[in-house]
Structure 1
Amino acid sequence: MPHIPLDPQLPGIRSLMAYRPETAVPLNALAQTLLRGPSTLAVGERELIATVVSHGNECRFCTGSHAAAAAETIDGGRPVVEAACASIDDAPVSDKLKALLRIALAVRETGRAVTEELVAAARAVGATDLELHDTVLIAAAFCMYNRYVDGLATVAPEDPAAYEQMGKVLAAEGYGR
């Protein structure tokens, strides 16, 4: 049960956006910029970073919705997303994305866990400074979003079909709504 009065028909962050629309605007703008704005990382790669961080934070709503969005937007779909959540090393993604996912998980732990070695490893497989920046910011932002959603005990649907629909909408419309 949510800690504050939220619309029970709106799951997860959607209910929080409706509760306080003035904070929804900058939060949605940040997500839109990070996940849909110009980047050398594909939309699916950025959604996968958000998914892996949310999975590591055990945020059911964010994991479910962003895993579905990643599955809609990444080459290989759902099997790639599931593999990355299970084990970055075994995921069928590029070495660069694996290195960036390792950095994202370090950020999830603490920003100070991002070491020179992790950065050097990502650069060695082609990661640019902008990709390093955006990976760290996506990971940090999703730690915030995850804690926002779970800290107020929002409703997270049990039915995987609900997330599949959210993923389709996110893939088609992004975060500018």
Structure 2
Amino acid sequence: MPHINLPAGSPGIRSLFMFRPETAGPLNLLAQTLLHNPHPTLSAGERELIATYVSSLNNCKYCSTIHGAIAKHQLGNDGQTVKQVVADMETAPVSDKLKALLRIAAKVQSGGKNVTEADVAQAREQGATDIEIHDTVLIAAAFCMYNRYVDGLATFQPDDEELYDQMGAQRAREGYHSGPLKLKKDGEVAEAS
């Protein structure tokens, strides 16, 4: 049960965006810029993996599940890689560069000052650029905020994996400026908006 009166049937951050559209605009723009817009070197799927990983470290069910679904679709329907990154990033089938960036993201998640020169040097040794390091830190920091926003107000977080998959497909396709999926009372998708 949400701590405040949120629109019924809208999961996670979407209900918060509907409740407070004035704050939704800049938060959506940040997500669009960090995760969906073209990037010089990191794919949208890699950036979504960083968001998923940080959200899983924060135990944010909604954000880890939805961004995992978006990552799956951004990675060519590869849900197994997403699951492996969340379960054990070190053995997941991702590049050594992405593993180094995920290590930095984990350090940010536990506290920004935990990122060391050695962490950055290791990422650089694996080919990470300054913009990739910057954007990894910003994605991790932003998702600590998004996770705490979603969980701090006890938003509705459905258990239906298919629903997350449908929302993830929409976000992967349309980005963060499109509207939410419309849900029936039982959590089923009525229509996309």
1:32 paired to 2:32: yes
- CA deviation vs aligned residue, 1:88-135 (integer Å, no higher than 9, x gap): 110000000000000001100000111111100000010000000000
Structure-1 separation of matches of 2:149 and 2:81: 27
- 4+ residue runs of structure 1 moved beyond 4 angstroms? none
Could you tell me which residue of structure 2 aligns to residue 121 of structure 1? 122
* Bigger fraction of residues in helix: 1
- The gaps in structure 1 that reach 5 residues or longer are none
CA 1:117/1:76 → structure 2, altered by over 3 Å: closer, same or farther?
A: farther
Structure-1 separation of matches of 2:67 and 2:32: 13
Structure-2 separation of matches of 1:121 and 1:105: 14
Could you tell me which residue of structure 2 aligns to residue 68 of structure 1? 69
1:76 shift after superposition: 6.8
Q: Give the letter aligned to residue 122 of structure 2.
A: A
- CA contact 2:101–2:133 (8 Å) conserved in 1: yes
Q: Give the letter aligned to residue 128 of structure 2.
A: A
Q: Cα RMSD (Å) of the superposition?
A: 0.9
Could you tell me which residue of structure 1 aligns to residue 14 of structure 2? 14
1:38 shift after superposition: 2.8
Structure-2 separation of matches of 1:37 and 1:117: 30
Identity %: 60
1:75 shift after superposition: 5.2
SS in 2 for 1:156: coil
SS in 1 for 2:38: coil
Structure-2 separation of matches of 1:106 and 1:74: 25
1:166 paired to 2:167: yes
- CA contact 2:38–2:44 (8 Å) conserved in 1: no
- CA deviation vs aligned residue, 1:126-154 (integer Å, no higher than 9, x gap): 00000000000000000000000000000
SS in 1 for 2:127: coil
- The gaps in structure 2 that reach 5 residues or longer are 179-193
- CA contact 2:108–2:137 (8 Å) conserved in 1: yes
Taking structure 1 as the reference length, the TM-score comes to 0.98
CA 1:125/1:76 → structure 2, altered by over 3 Å: closer, same or farther?
A: farther
Could you tell me which residue of structure 2 aligns to residue 137 of structure 1? 138
CA 1:102/1:76 → structure 2, altered by over 3 Å: closer, same or farther?
A: farther
Structure-1 separation of matches of 2:73 and 2:110: 27
Structure-2 separation of matches of 1:68 and 1:79: 11
SS in 1 for 2:97: helix
CA 1:76/1:100 → structure 2, altered by over 3 Å: closer, same or farther?
A: farther
1:86 paired to 2:91: no
Bigger CA radius of gyration: 2
Q: Give the letter aligned to residue 109 of structure 1.
A: S
CA 1:76/1:87 → structure 2, altered by over 3 Å: closer, same or farther?
A: farther
Taking structure 2 as the reference length, the TM-score comes to 0.90
